[in-house]
A and B are shown apart, each in its own frame.
Chain A
């Protein structure tokens, strides 16, 4: 089996992994791991490890495996074996170098996309196993630098991008002003207590993609929605701490998000087009805090757009003309089953839609998900070459005429953008909101 380092052209040096490991001894590793296994390594972990028949049925499900010429090191079962499997077998008696490798595998060679789970006859969840490994890495202080920095930002500012409180509010004011040039009566209602909808976004929106807030405001305005955004932390629904294994911080982030929506006495949270944030708010973070479901309904943008179009709250002036295809984001399709609603929105707004294959819950991950893209430039090449299968998918759909790839998820945008560039596919990426904004009646 090739080690991950050999599989890439050059040795990847990551400061978070190297500097974290430099502070460890084998003895400390053993102590921390044993404590973790005793405290959190319950029946689920044990059952998965004992049940795996090494049948390999999961291998073909994983884009890393297929894209790396079927190297077993990249198969789901192979990744489990090289990481948490070995740790459990040796009861934590592993070397510091082992931890470095296991950290790299669990953080950068698995998107936690859960495609493989569907193909395992026992339903073994490789994503859970990789997350357990990441949790151990967090406890050991060995986490890739870029995603650790993001986790630090989350902890300090309660958003992903070190956005300061004044910068956030200023962005809302600025987008409101810009949008008023187009629609004079438009408002981004900040801190409006009792509004129906609490609209939350992810950190990169105010930082890099402020036009998405503008577009959302235009859509809300045209639909006559009673909505608000907060002027306090809690506006960011994203959550890289869920992916670094820092579940305590994940809990804090989700608490602030939900409590901000509740402080404003809103009835539901509508989230922008993001997949991992949805997983965190709707599935993982809420449950960690003690809620079976989210304490107030959480609606992903796809569902929201579906409602607005179905109820004729927004009207399409002229359908989008260029042929489009659709990338199903793992967290909202495998995780929530929003694929048909997304297709409804596309059929309502676009003239020509071409499916890529496989699709819906069988779609391949963008390879950015699960925090992999957040591990940053050191791992970019590996991430992109590890998803050649996505490039093949896109190429095939391009051959059928698709020019635009719609992906209702920020991470997918990041991942697909790199793939489109690397494989020179010449396709354009859009959010559903981009399409709606472009084609809707605005007044």
Chain B
């Protein structure tokens, strides 16, 4: 397990690969992916008429496959892809396929902190999840909404436990779906279950469900809340006390509920994607206080700043004192921090990222096809053709930038460590 402290944080630039060169070598090169520590870059390449591999820092994996898709790096800086050989599928990590093969694999997930991999799989028309090459013991009629626990060691998914014949609306309305955690289904079935969340200790699971055609609620470890709502969105566990909150729709609009009880006074036109500060004391959520306006609501108080089109990617600073999000008005994106928008607008912005001390915010942006990192609203004046999200050093004094360059670095994958003081000059 690679830890962010162990990464090379010496300031400077490394050119690690020439992707244009890969194009000459392989002919077929798909879009590249960079490892979190920035030391590796990989892309799916064609090595033979009918065979594909992954080129990492200029070297193709030893193994090749009939097909590869969904190449991604895990938090442990290993590249994994979904691979097929003679019509069977599995996960290959750094080129090594798992021992078990399936009729199909998809929706691969990494734990946030560790490199455990979970994927959805189907074999003999049975649906299940596989974590680190270990398939669930139980298979189901269908599986969706796969979720990995924070470490990635556990997985949960919505599963169909009974068959539904075509047009059998009565069977469906009796409830054929539930949540399975590491293969074990909850006792009760529901009409539907959707988004799933794990608690931080990976002991509890909550999900949104529909009890009958009109009543929605949240289920925690198989037990529905007593209250019913006309709709709900994804529940989240409070990291401090383990209580569960979810946006719920009541007469008058959307609001926040904890363990079934309404805790916010606001009734909003929309409320979703709520997050907790690390100590569990604050909640931020994307909200629409009035028709066609979007903002962040923090602990029941919407920002005065609103956006017309959209608000996404809410985030708290690690100390929970600050909050940021991406917002869009009239087709142009920017970042807002504590209710104040950056001056510049972009064609696209990616999730804003706080420095560990919460004082600085960085985001990947794109304008007219040129990608740049913006810190506190100021651009770092290096243009990229492809760029990944920036990462702050553990002390917050440096920034890791990973991208494919332009001009003299055209087509080259570069890794830059910049001191923040330098970027803010």
Contact = CB atoms under 8 A, between A and B. Distances in A.
Interface of A: 15-16, 19, 39, 138-139, 141, 145-146, 148-149, 152, 155-158, 162, 164-166, 169-170, 173, 185, 187, 189-192, 194, 231-233, 246, 248, 251-252, 255, 262, 265, 267, 289-293, 295-297
B69 A157 contact: no
Interface stretch (B91-99, B217-225, B306-314): B306-314
A166 B292 CA distance: 36
A290 B269 contact: yes
14 contacts: A19-B170, A138-B213, A145-B169, A156-B176, A156-B177, A166-B103, A169-B106, A173-B67, A187-B30, A192-B31, A255-B272, A262-B310, A262-B312, A291-B309
Contacts of B328: 295
B294 interface: yes
Contacts of A15: 169
A292 B160 contact: no
B170 A231 contact: no
B210 interface: yes
Contacts of B103: 166
A240 to B, nearest CB: 13
Nearest to B249: A248
Most buried by A among B173, B213, B294: B213
B170 A165 contact: no
A169 B67 CA distance: 13
B294 A290 contact: yes
B308 A292 contact: yes
B270 A289 contact: yes
A239 to B, nearest CB: 16
B421 interface: no
A148 B169 contact: yes
B346 to A, nearest CB: 11
B167 A146 contact: yes
Given A292-B291, A296-B310, A155 B210 contact: yes
A169 B104 contact: yes
Nearest to B208: A252
A231 B231 contact: no
B310 A248 contact: no
Contacts of A138: 213
B70 A291 contact: no
Interface string B26-47: 0010110000000000000000
A383 B308 CA distance: 42
Interface string B298-335: 00000000001110100000000000000010010000
A158 B210 CA distance: 14
A290 B231 contact: no
Given A190-B70, A290-B292, A165 B144 contact: yes
Contact of A156 (B168, B192, B230, B292): B192
A297 B331 contact: yes
A170 B67 CA distance: 12
Contacts of B31: 189, 192
A252 B164 CA distance: 22
A292 B106 contact: no
A3 to B, nearest CB: 25
Most buried by B among A164, A173, A190, A267: A164
Interface residues of B, number: 55
B214 interface: yes
A252 B104 contact: no
B387 to A, nearest CB: 9
A139 B144 CA distance: 27
Interface of B: 28, 30-31, 67, 69-70, 103-104, 106-107, 120, 122, 127, 142-144, 160, 164, 166-170, 172-173, 176-177, 191-192, 194, 210, 213-214, 216, 230-231, 249, 251, 269-270, 272, 288, 291-292, 294, 308-310, 312, 328, 331, 347-348, 350, 366
A246 B249 CA distance: 15
A383 to B, nearest CB: 18
Contacts of B122: 164, 166
Contacts of A251: 231
A149 B213 contact: no
A173 B159 CA distance: 24
B191 A155 contact: yes
Given A16-B169, A169-B106, 4 more contacts: A15-B169, A146-B167, A149-B167, A252-B194
Contacts of A255: 272
A165 B166 CA distance: 18
A165 B104 CA distance: 10
A248 B70 CA distance: 32
A54 B272 CA distance: 45
A139 to B, nearest CB: 6
Contacts of B231: 248, 251-252
B292 A267 contact: no
Contacts of B191: 155
Contacts of A262: 310, 312
A290 B107 contact: no
A296 B70 contact: no
Contacts of A165: 106-107, 120, 143-144
A173 B106 CA distance: 12
Contacts of A146: 167
Nearest to B269: A290
Most buried by B among A19, A146, A152, A189: A152
A79 to B, nearest CB: 25
Nearest to B70: A191
B42 to A, nearest CB: 15
Contacts of B347: 267
A248 B169 contact: no
Nearest to B366: A194
Contact of B172 (A152, A231, A252, A297): A152
A204 to B, nearest CB: 15
B363 to A, nearest CB: 12
A191 B72 CA distance: 11
A156 B177 CA distance: 8
A377 B256 CA distance: 44
Contacts of A190: 69-70
A232 B103 CA distance: 18
Contacts of A191: 69-70
A141 B213 contact: yes
Contacts of A296: 309-310
Contacts of B251: 39
Contacts of B348: 194, 265, 267
A231 B168 CA distance: 28
A169 to B, nearest CB: 5
B81 to A, nearest CB: 12
A170 B107 CA distance: 13
A231 B104 contact: no
B380 to A, nearest CB: 19
B207 to A, nearest CB: 14
